Amino acid sequence: MTSRERVRDAINFKETDRAPFDLGATFVTGLSAFEMKKLRASYGLEEKPVKVFEPLMFLGEVEEDLLDSVGGDFIGIFGPDSLLAYENSNWKNWTAPNGEDFLVGEGFTTSVGDDGMVYLYANSNPNSEPAAHMPPHGFYFDHIYRQKPLGPDHEYNARVDYSDQYAVYTDHELRHFEKCADYAYNNTDKSIIFNCGMGGLGDFFHIPGSWLEAPRGIRNLEDWMMAPYLHPEYVKDYYEMQTEICIKDLELAYQAMGDKVDICYVSGTDFGAQNGPLMTIDAYREFYKPYMIRIMSWIHENTPWKTMNHTCGAVADFIDDFIETGLDILNPVQVSAAGMDPKTLKDKYADKIVFCGGTVNPQTTLAAGTPEEVYDETKKNTEILSAGGGFIGANIHNIQAGTPTENIRALISAVTGK
């Protein structure tokens, strides 16, 4: 089967020659740039600096030669800008604190503190407060929370506080989407995933506003977790505004890319922790579900795209509600979290929702197991989840820095045979 045939059958619950495999086509199925050079070398590919297209999670761009080597079935379409609001173009060299060289967009702007901390600035503006930092021995640029004091006189007007958080796609962005989709569709046999992400209501990755020079409103995660209880109408108005912009962006993106896209990545909001949900099901139904229904309904009523959401953790109790919103693909099946046993979930939801990313426990087996253990666990879970179609093979979230190359290869081999 071609990749496109394999994916389209799998996401429509049809048997395929093997499970389709994703490496790097979304913000949550990627590979740390620190590991990409070693993975490329293990396949005998050309040695070259890795392009870091997402600095916060420090994700490397999976180029076509690596994609073909691993048997990858997807190409992801991302915006032209990084998540720090500089464009991923005119690549330049940057040396990380550990001495490794990478390529970054021309607008990637940093400074180094006396303690070796590397500071990264939103919108390439070194005169603003830094938006993220990487410790001397770190592997990521962590958010810096820049919430200003919200005194008793703060108005809590979401349409003011978050007016610059999201925007309708520009012509430049739309032409970029169009060009990327045309190339991927006409020059490869890969399935295309569009990384919208605009449906990430309350996404912990969005709340700090790392792409803004001076974010307003609630930006600390502790305060945001309390906001639905302390300021419910404020949260709902923020989500209403975000939903309006998201639907407009989806309309424009569909005009640019049309039916070339198979899957739209809508949201990365996390609802689960390791041992249970991050909120009650009632809170989800009040603050998230109504808006997600509107977004998913627009997609299904106006496009043939399948919808995909990411949420980490123990979310088994939420899956019925996810399905009711119109969600087609759930990423991931975090097999290490409470209640997320692959067989139990597959038996219950065999033809109701597609699972993506339930291959091997990334917290133990992938990180510290032997290649044989990684292969066996991946093979077992893939066979369970792909029975009758309805599964996309991928790691459970991004493959992290420090993961042994031989273990990454074992995961890939168990899914694709490469």
Give the number of other CB atoms < 10 A from CB of residue 229: 9
Instruction: Quote the pLDDT of residue 245.
Output: 98
Coil vs helix vs strand at 263 = strand
Phi–psi pair at 81, nearest 5 degrees: -100, 150
- pTM, two decimal places: 0.97
Residue (of 33, 91, 97) closest to 66 by Cα position: 33
Instruction: Quote the pLDDT of residue 53.
Output: 97
Instruction: Quote the pLDDT of residue 413.
Output: 98
The per-residue pLDDT for range 190-245, each reduced to its tens digit, is: 999 999 999 999 999 999 999 999 999 999 999 999 999 999 999 999 999 999 99
What CATH class has 3-49+64-85+162-416? alpha beta
DSSP 8-state secondary structure symbol assigned to residue 129 = P
CB within 8 Å of 100: residues ≥ 6 apart: 34, 37
Instruction: Quote the pLDDT of residue 300.
Output: 98
Instruction: Quote the pLDDT of residue 179.
Output: 98
Instruction: Quote the pLDDT of residue 389.
Output: 98
Sites in the chain below the pLDDT cut of 50: none
Instruction: Quote the pLDDT of residue 33.
Output: 98
The per-residue pLDDT for range 101-138, each reduced to its tens digit, is: 999 999 999 999 999 999 999 999 999 999 999 999 99
Instruction: Delimit the domains of the chain by residue range.
Output: 3-49+64-85+162-416
Instruction: Quote the pLDDT of residue 411.
Output: 98
